[in-house]
Amino acid sequence: MQISSNTASKLPGFKRLDWRPLQDQAVDRLELSSPPAPEFKLRGMIAPGDVRHQLRDEAAELISPIKVEIPGGKFVPQYAPTVVGARQVFDPAGDCNGNFMSSKFQVNNNCYNYACDVATNSFAQPGRKHGLLLGEDWKPEDVATGAKADGLIEISRQPLSNEQLQEKARELPPGHFVALLMSAPDANAKWPGDYHWVRQDENGTWSQKDGTDQVTNFDYAGHPILDPAAANWTVNEGPMSSKDNRDVVINYKFFSIMYVPDGKIDII
C-alpha cells in the first residue's frame, strides 16, 4: 500500500509514494507515444477507429449478432438481416423498412448501401462480398472494380445529362443510376481518401446518405442534387491538429456513372 509522505512519516511499515517521479514517467510516456490519428468523418470507407465495422477473423469476438463470412476466412459484423428496398420515390422513412433512418440501424448503413438500396446493416464496402478488399494504397479504379463485382454496371466515366440517362435506361434492365465520387488522399492533412455514392430517384433528382448520417436529397451546400457532377461536394472537416488550427477542406469529385439492376446486387 502506498500513501502520502506526511502519513508515511507517522506510520512505520508503509511505503512513501514519490509523486514527482510518477509525474515524470507519465510525461515520458506521453512524449514517446505517437499522436492519435485525426478523426475524419468518412462517407463510404470504414474509419480506422470504427470498431463496430472492422473485419474479424474466425477466432475474434464479434459484437454483432450476425457474422457473414467472406472469401479469405474473414467475417463481416452484421447488426440485422439484409433488407432490399423497392425504390419508388424519395422516402427515407419507408425505404428498406426505415433502416436508413432508424436510430438503431442508421449508423450501420453508408452511402453505398443507400445508393444500391440494400440495407445490409454492415456498412457495406464495394467488392467485399467477393473478397475484393481496399488496402491502404487503394485507387479509385479499385472501388469501381469492387462495385462491378457486386453486380453494378458501369455506364460512363463522363457526366451525363438526365436526358442521356433516360435514353440509356431504355437499353437496360429495370434499375436505377448511381454516381461514384472520389476524394484523393492528402498526406499533408493526413486525409486517407474516401469515396461517396449518390443515387438517382424516380423523379430524376438525386439523393444520398452521408456516411452514418441520415438520408438527404441535398448536396453539402444545401442545394437539391440535380446533377451529381455539378453539385457541391466540399466538406470542411475543421482543424485536425492542436499545432495547426487551419481547417482541413475535403473535396469529392465525380468519377463514374453506374447502374444498379433491380435484384442483381450482392453486397455486404
Taking Cα atoms as reference points, which of 26, 53, 61 lies closest to residue 121?
Answer: 53
pTM exceeds 0.75 for this model: yes
Taking Cα atoms as reference points, which of 154, 134, 158, 136 lies closest to residue 144?
Answer: 154
For residue 100, name the pLDDT band (cuts at 50, 70, 90): very high
If one counts every other C-beta atom within 10 angstroms of the C-beta of residue 104, the result is 11
Domain boundaries, the chain: 51-261
Residue of higher predicted confidence among 169 and 37:
169
Instruction: Report the mean per-residue pLDDT for the chain.
Output: 86
Taking Cα atoms as reference points, which of 190, 179, 250 lies closest to residue 220?
Answer: 250
pLDDT tens-digit series, residues 39-61: 788 999 999 889 999 999 877 88
Tell me how long the chain is.
Answer: 268
pLDDT tens-digit series, residues 185-237: 888 888 889 999 999 999 999 999 999 999 999 999 999 999 999 999 999 98
For residue 244, name the pLDDT band (cuts at 50, 70, 90): confident
Helix, strand, coil percentages for the chain (3-state, nearest 5): 20, 25, 55
